[in-house]
């Protein structure tokens, strides 16, 4: 067999020097047919051929040992074949015919097991063009207003730049997912061109034949509104979105340690977005440059935000009970006494639940309940009813929310005074809210005035800066005087051109 240098020389002598095949044969000393073969050859691809294996002593037994090891996958780990047990079984089954050593059996078992493990899919290194993102949830505990929640945080990672943003929630429901994505889109001023997800039930209803996804209506509507493309990992293949998998751990270690405590989750989420921005002021782990600079390349590819923001909510029709309460998502929300046993619409977002009547008019809004919270009771709409039944006040949740000075005042008041007080309290609350109403009562009582008229005067001073001017009722015999409006135009005749006439 000729070397590549010899073949190259033969072909050059023919192609560039114009020598005949016989002359090349005489010069090189190679056979004419050999020279002819390499001059006419067109395919010089290197062909790889598998190494020829000799039939060993264990070749006849390979199939049965493979079958045993495959069946082991169905057996408990401690009841699977060892190489020693395979060797013993072969000896028991074939007797003197089997003359291989235990060492060779061990080698065969290891080889077959390695082949079975290689049947699983390996990982593929993926390229990440600018403008794409990956999304996933992580779990985290946090404390809001002294109450601990086992919550979740949405992570959006940008694989090209290795940047990311996060939002904290009390659930992984669709409202939280979409609200988190919306908040991040609005913060970064654009929408990733494509986003990778796993097959979470809030997005995917069913995986159909050939990997197609049947998506939930809410997610489809959101995706069409913002215009991004959705891609999905294969089932149980989180490594296919490895960037966000790593970001989930990074955000937990760097943003959620120690356990965060705050008063308002919405405000804390705004702070998290700014912290994620500041976190981009560091080098990319592969040394490509600052993450914040690479993120600008992402942003150049982002889609524009839609002109109209997307309103994230789900709605359900429900019927209130005898107390005007309605059940939603396994929890109880109050409405109003006049809505007892009525049809209502429950409109729920990630943070709030709004109750509407059948004509979509607002009735009341609650903070959405999660975790161990089972009931949200807003007593304000019930104040008018309490003014008619003042003795029931002490047995409601509202009573415990009142300041001590107001409790003592109500406890000392008689039935009629309680009715008047609660009626006034309901009026003030409906106008400016319960906090201002309580402040007016507290200030009036501290000043030593307790009658409803004086409390109302205090309330007016606090809210408008003026005291009320009630109309004074007059007897019928007093004639009504018309309002006199002076006409000052008659004084114009005293003015002459060029000056005043004295």
Q: What is the pLDDT of residues 328-343, one digit of tens each?
A: 999 999 998 888 899 9
Residue 415 sits at φ, ψ, to 5 deg, of: -60, -50
The pLDDT confidence band at residue 455, using thresholds 50, 70 and 90, is confident
Task: Write the pLDDT tens digit of every residue in 42-71.
Answer: 776 655 565 566 667 888 889 999 989 888
Task: Return d(Cα 47, Cα 226) in angstroms, integer.
Answer: 51
Three-class DSSP category at 8: helix
- Per-residue pLDDT at 80: 87
> Is residue 209's pLDDT more than 80?
no
What average pLDDT does this structure show over 473-501? 71
- If you ran DSSP here, which 8-state letter would residue 156 be given? E
> Is residue 502's pLDDT more than 50?
no
Q: Where are the beta strands (DSSP E) in 233-342?
A: 261-262, 314-319, 325-328, 331-334
Task: Write the pLDDT tens digit of every residue in 113-168.
Answer: 888 775 555 555 566 789 999 999 999 999 999 999 999 999 999 999 999 999 99
Q: Are 196 and 241 in contact (CB under 8 A)?
A: yes
Residue found under tokens 């990672």: 157
Q: Helices (H), strands (E): how many in the chain?
A: 17, 17
- What pTM was computed for the model? 0.64
Q: Are 167 and 154 in contact (CB under 8 A)?
A: yes
- If you ran DSSP here, which 8-state letter would residue 290 be given? B
Whether the bond between 258 and the residue before it is cis, its omega within 30 degrees of 0, is: yes
HSE of 312, CA atoms in CB hemisphere, 13 A: 19
For the chain, report the end-to-end CA distance as a whole number of angstroms: 137
Residue found under tokens 């002109």: 307
Fold of 132-301: Nucleotidyltransferase; domain 5 (3.30.420)
Task: Return d(Cα 452, Cα 450) in angstroms, integer.
Answer: 6
Task: Write the pLDDT tens digit of every residue in 238-293.
Answer: 555 678 888 999 999 999 999 999 999 999 999 999 999 999 999 988 888 999 99
Lowest mean pLDDT among 257-271, 398-412, 413-427: 398-412
Identify which of 108-117, 266-275, 383-392, 487-496 has the greatest average pLDDT.
266-275
Q: Are 356 and 318 in contact (CB under 8 A)?
A: no
The chain-wide mean pLDDT, for the chain, equals 85
Q: Bridge partners of 356?
A: 345, 362
> Which class for 41: exposed (0-12), middle (13-18), buried (19 or more C-beta within 10 A)?
exposed
Task: Return d(Cα 45, Cα 76) in angstroms, integer.
Answer: 50
Lookup: tokens for 42: 């067109």
- Per-residue pLDDT at 241: 66
> Is residue 467's pLDDT more than 70?
no
- Per-residue pLDDT at 160: 93
What average pLDDT does this structure show over 311-319? 92
Over pLDDT 70: what percentage of the chain? 90
The residue ranking higher by pLDDT, 122 or 349, is: 349
> Which class for 233: exposed (0-12), middle (13-18), buried (19 or more C-beta within 10 A)?
middle
> Which class for 206: exposed (0-12), middle (13-18), buried (19 or more C-beta within 10 A)?
exposed
Query: Which of 39, 34, 41, 31 lies closest to 13 in space, CA to CA?
Result: 39
> Is residue 199's pLDDT more than 80?
yes
- Per-residue pLDDT at 494: 74
Lowest mean pLDDT among 224-228, 383-387, 463-467, 494-498: 494-498
């Amino acid at each position: 067999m000729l070397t590549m240098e010899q073949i190259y020389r033969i072909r050059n002598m023919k192609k560039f020097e114009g020598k005949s095949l016989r002359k090349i044969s005489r010069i090189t000393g190679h056979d004419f047919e050999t020279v002819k073969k390499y001059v006419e050859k067109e395919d010089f691809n290197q062909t790889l051929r598998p190494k020829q294996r000799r039939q060993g002593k264990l070749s006849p037994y390979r199939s049965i040992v493979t079958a045993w090891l495959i069946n082991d996958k169905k057996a408990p780990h401690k009841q699977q074949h060892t190489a020693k047990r395979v060797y013993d079984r072969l000896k028991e089954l074939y007797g003197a015919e089997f003359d291989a050593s235990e060492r060779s059996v061990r080698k065969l078992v290891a080889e077959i097991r390695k082949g079975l493990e290689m049947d699983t899919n390996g990982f593929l290194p993926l390229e990440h063009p600018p403008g794409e993102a990956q999304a996933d949830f992580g779990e985290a505990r946090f404390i809001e207003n002294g109450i601990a929640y086992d919550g979740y945080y949405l992570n959006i990672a940008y694989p090209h730049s290795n940047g990311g943003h996060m939002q904290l929630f009390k659930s992984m429901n669709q409202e939280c997912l979409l609200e988190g994505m919306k908040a991040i889109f609005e913060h970064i001023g654009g929408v990733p061109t494509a986003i990778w997800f796993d097959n979470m039930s809030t997005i995917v209803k069913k995986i159909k034949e050939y990997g197609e996804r049947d998506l939930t209506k809410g997610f489809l509507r959101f995706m069409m509104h913002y215009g991004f493309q959705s891609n999905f990992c294969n089932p149980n293949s989180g490594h296919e979105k490895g960037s966000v998998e790593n970001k989930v751990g990074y955000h937990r270690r760097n943003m959620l340690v120690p356990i965060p405590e705050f008063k308002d989750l919405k405000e804390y989420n705004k702070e998290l977005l700014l912290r994620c921005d500041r976190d981009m002021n560091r080098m990319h782990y592969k040394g490509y440059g600052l993450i914040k600079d690479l993120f600008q390349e992402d942003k150049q590819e982002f889609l524009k935000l839609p002109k109209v923001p997307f309103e994230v909510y789900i709605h359900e029709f429900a019927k209130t009970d005898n107390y005007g309460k309605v059940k939603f998502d396994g929890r109880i929300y109050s409405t109003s006494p006049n809505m007892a046993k009525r049809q209502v619409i429950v409109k729920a977002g990630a943070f709030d639940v709004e109750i509407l009547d059948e004509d979509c008019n607002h009735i009341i809004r609650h903070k959405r309940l999660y975790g161990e919270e089972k009931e949200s009771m807003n007593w304000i709409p019930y104040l008018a009813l309490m003014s008619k039944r003042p003795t029931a006040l002490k047995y409601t949740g509202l009573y415990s929310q009142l300041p001590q000075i107001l409790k003592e005042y109500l406890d000392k008041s008689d039935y009629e005074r309680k009715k008047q007080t609660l009626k006034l309290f309901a009026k003030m609350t409906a106008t400016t809210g319960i906090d201002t109403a309580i402040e007016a009562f507290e200030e009036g009582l501290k000043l030593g005035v307790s009658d409803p008229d004086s409390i109302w005067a205090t309330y007016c001073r606090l809210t408008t800066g003026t005291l009320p001017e009630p109309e004074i009722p007059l007897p019928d015999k007093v004639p009504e005087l018309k309002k006199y409006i002076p006409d000052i135009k008659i004084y114009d005749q005293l003015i002459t051109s060029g000056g005043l006439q004295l």
